[in-house]
Amino acid sequence: MFIIKKILNLNSTVFIFILFITIFISVNEFINIKELREIKIKINNDELVTNDKYEELSLYSSAYLLGKQGEYENAIEKYNHLLKLYPSTNIIDVIYFNIGTVYLSDALSKPLSDDGKLTIENFQKLQSAIISLEKALAINPLNELAKFNLSILYSSMPNEPSKIISEKAAQELSNIPIGLP
């Protein structure tokens, strides 16, 4: 009680100023906590997070949902954009794991070639999946899902793709300039 009387005996404007600052900080923290709760609910419900204050989380949410919807190329592009903008993010191992998983899902969603082997495109996607999963494990060696996916890839990955070149691969090869510039 003595302390309160002492504070009130001080200049009352100082006391009121401190009171207003305390109220302002409290309200601001309450708003931040409320936003984070809403974001957590959206993430748990697999909904898109759109919040300019949390751009990293919004990009991650967008990439994750694109991958879940089967838009693999767009998901990989978003994840790579996220890595470019936030190269030292706390979830970099999760991003690499997700990139590897998206490459794997994309390759497995495509049919085999006419001779029953992987197409060149799918073979390259599986190799990209391996590279991404290895990066995830290099960052976080305790990532059990990355270990599991890698073990499946290592045990089932063929040595080479089909010798049959698809129309898409032939078109991509035809766009390569021949000769020196």
- In a domain, residue 18? The reply is no
pLDDT for residue 153: 87
- In a domain, residue 17? The reply is no
The number of folded domains in the chain is 1
Cα separations in angstroms, 166 against 11, 39, 121, 128: 83, 43, 9, 19
- In a domain, residue 68? The reply is yes
- In a domain, residue 9? The reply is no
Identify the helix (H) or strand (E) that includes residue 78.
Answer: helix 72-85
Q: What is the CATH number of the domain that holds 75?
A: 1.25.40.10
- In a domain, residue 66? The reply is yes
pTM of the model: 0.67
- In a domain, residue 24? The reply is no
- In a domain, residue 125? The reply is yes
pLDDT for residue 102: 94
Q: And the tokens for 34?
A: 């409320």
CA distance 61 to 78: 10
Count the neighbouring beta carbons within 10 Å of the beta carbon of residue 80: 13
Q: And the tokens for 42?
A: 């959206």
Q: And the tokens for 76?
A: 């990989």
Contacts 24+ apart (CB under 8 A), 1-6: none
pLDDT for residue 169: 46
| Domain housing 71 | 41-158
- In a domain, residue 94? The reply is yes
CA distance 102 to 105: 5
Instruction: List per-residue pLDDT tens for the chain, 181 residues long.
Output: 566 656 556 566 776 777 778 888 887 887 777 777 776 776 667 776 666 666 788 888 889 889 988 999 999 999 999 999 998 888 899 999 999 999 999 988 877 776 666 778 888 888 999 999 999 999 999 999 999 989 888 887 766 665 555 455 444 434 444 434 3
Identify the CA nearest to 118 among candidates 149, 151, 160: 160
